[in-house]
Amino acid sequence: MVKKFIKDNENHKKEKKQCEDLYMKLKKLRKNFIAPVDERIQESTNNSDFGSEDFKFSVFVRLIIGSRTKDSAVAKKIEYLKSKGLTINSILDHSQETLAYELKGVSFPNNKAKYLIKSAKIIKNNYNGIIPDTYKDLISLPGLGPRTANMFLHICYGKTEGIIVDSNIHRIANRLGLVKTETEKQTQKELEKIVPKTQWKDLYVNLLGFSQVFCSVKNPDCEKCPASDICDYTKKYRKIEF
């Protein structure tokens, strides 16, 4: 029993080291191309109101209305809301019905309008109009989940309290062989075990870049992907000569 425990522990350490090495290789390869997420980050940091409370609130709104909605539709809606003045007070000036109408074009506009109004009230009354900077407080706000709370902290406060995992990161991490999981929650848990905490901050952007440029849900472009020679998916399902 003791020998088995020691052997299992040694195997776990070996697998963890292999995954760490794989991620570091991916990180280096990621520097060889620019993805849409990189351009979006650059646009945000060049924004004149970057870091302001209005900027943070626009990110907050984007994350809430972005669930199950295409990025292009979300971006269009955010620009529309900004053109009318997107602030906590402007949201509170709406009834749920009128805000839902303004959100027409994104999924579940009624629910998202309700979440935005409730969250705006809490932020104004409980936090003096400043969106909180802790995971615990953010996760308590209507409309934010673990992924979006971590994403908000990352974008607006430069904090990393957990690895951000959405459907794209779940898919990429499994295809590459970093993890073998069934759900996004499991993927986050496993990645946080194998990836050093110092690397958590950049993992989302690094893997999302591969998803956007090469590793789509259907028909991934394995032949052009710089990670093909270290990718489990390519080795199993694609015949490419290296």
- Choose between 53 and 6: higher pLDDT: 53
pLDDT reported for residue 13: 72
- Dihedral angle computed from the Cα positions of residues 198, 208, 191 and 20, in that order, rounded to the nearest 10 degrees: -60
Query: Is the pLDDT confidence value at 1 over 70?
Result: no
Residue 3 lies in a domain: no
Query: Does position 241 have pLDDT exceeding 60, yes or no?
Result: no
Please, what sign has the CA dihedral across residues 220, 225, 228, 231?
negative
Question: pLDDT tens across 40-88, in order?
Answer: 888 877 776 777 899 999 999 999 999 888 888 998 999 999 998 999 9
Domain match, 65 and 98 both: yes
Residue 8 above 80 pLDDT? no
Do residues 53 and 140 share a domain?
yes
Token couple for 115: 């979440």
Q: Say whether both 119 and 172 belong to one domain.
A: no
Which two structure tokens, joined as six digits, stand for 162? 């957990």
62 and 143, same domain (yes or no): yes
**Share above pLDDT 70 across residues of the chain, in percent, rounded to a whole number:** 93
Higher pLDDT, 50 or 106: 106
Q: Which residues contact 161 (CB under 8 A, 6 or more apart)?
A: 135, 150, 153
Whose structure tokens read 């970057």? 50
Q: Smallest Cα–Cα separation from 101: which of 125, 123, 77?
A: 77
Measured CA to CA, the distance from residue 128 to residue 142 in angstroms comes to 17
Last residue of a domain, one of 157, 190, 211: 157
152 and 141 Cβ atoms separated by less than 8 Å: no
Give the pLDDT confidence of 121-134 residue by residue, as tens digits: 999 999 999 999 99
pLDDT in tens, 9-48: 455 577 778 888 888 999 999 999 999 989 888 887 777 6
Number of domains in the chain: 2
Could you give the CA distance from residue 194 to residue 240 in angstroms, rounded to a whole number?
A: 28
Considering only residues 7 and 117, tell me which one the structure prediction assigns the higher pLDDT.
117
Domain span at 207: 15-37+164-237
| DSSP bridge partners of 104 | 106
Instruction: Judge if 126 and 203 occupy the same domain.
Output: no
pTM, 2 dp = 0.81
pLDDT at residue 203 greater than cutoff 90: yes
Structure tokens, 21 = 């090495």
